[in-house]
Structure 1
Amino acid sequence: MKPGEFIVEDSTDRPFANTPEFTGHLGLQYQFFLESGHDIVLRTDLAYKDDVFYSNDTESVGFDLLHEDAYTTVDAAIIFTTQDEKWQVALRGTNLTDERRLNGGFAVDAFGSVDGSFTAPRRYFLSATYKM
């Protein structure tokens, strides 16, 4: 090729890389007040990610390996706040369904290698916050 020249390639049969067709999020929260004036919040979040290809090269050795099916994750929290809002204690859980899914990667055909990274496992957090 000479400088200024380029090759036109028809890629209409290839999926877009790193682009799920659909993603969605639903968050639900309920807050109720105790007779003491404190409050408790219950929260849950659902996140949906349609299947995604992390490579759009259908001829690549890693094309099928760098494909992840659709999945949904669930997060939840219970948050207690004092009446004066100075203290807050929260128990949170992320990825409660423990969906370990591929969330990125690449293939190097010259070496026959495929590298991928995965979502975090189920995790729990406990926090206490004091506002001065």
Structure 2
Amino acid sequence: MDDYSIDEAAARTGLTKHTLRYYEREGLLPPIAKASSGHRRYTDDDIGWVKFLQLLRATGMPIREAKAFVTLTWAGDHTIPQRVEVLTGYRSALVERMAQDAEHLETLNRKIDFYSGVLQARDATPEDVTGERAGAR
């Protein structure tokens, strides 16, 4: 198993070192091992935890709820029904947001098409409209 410095962990996750330290302080990550120098050494499992936390945050889950979810996870398999319930709720909210975003995208596409048509009509030359060069008979 590889281990990574905080700089490498930040690069692998796209988070800042500050955010990684914050997640650790808040109890969102398991204890991070330290080298004899005292520097943090992240494992592949730690990186996996960070990436899962990023996914939870991307669903809109606040830090306090992510912390509660992590606590459930570390409590053991008997909490799986509760974890499924939490994740199902966030999945439902995500599906709803995706449907709203699809509607918004369609509306924007219609507006872009409309305005593009207006620009084309405004910029059209007489020959574009008639198919003939102006003045040619």
- Is this a same-fold pair by TM over 0.5? no
TM-score, normalisation: structure 2 = 0.20
TM-score (norm 1): 0.21
Q: Which has the higher contact order (CA 8 A, sep 6+)?
A: 1
Of Structure 1 and Structure 2, the greater strand share is in 1
Structure with bigger helix share is: 2
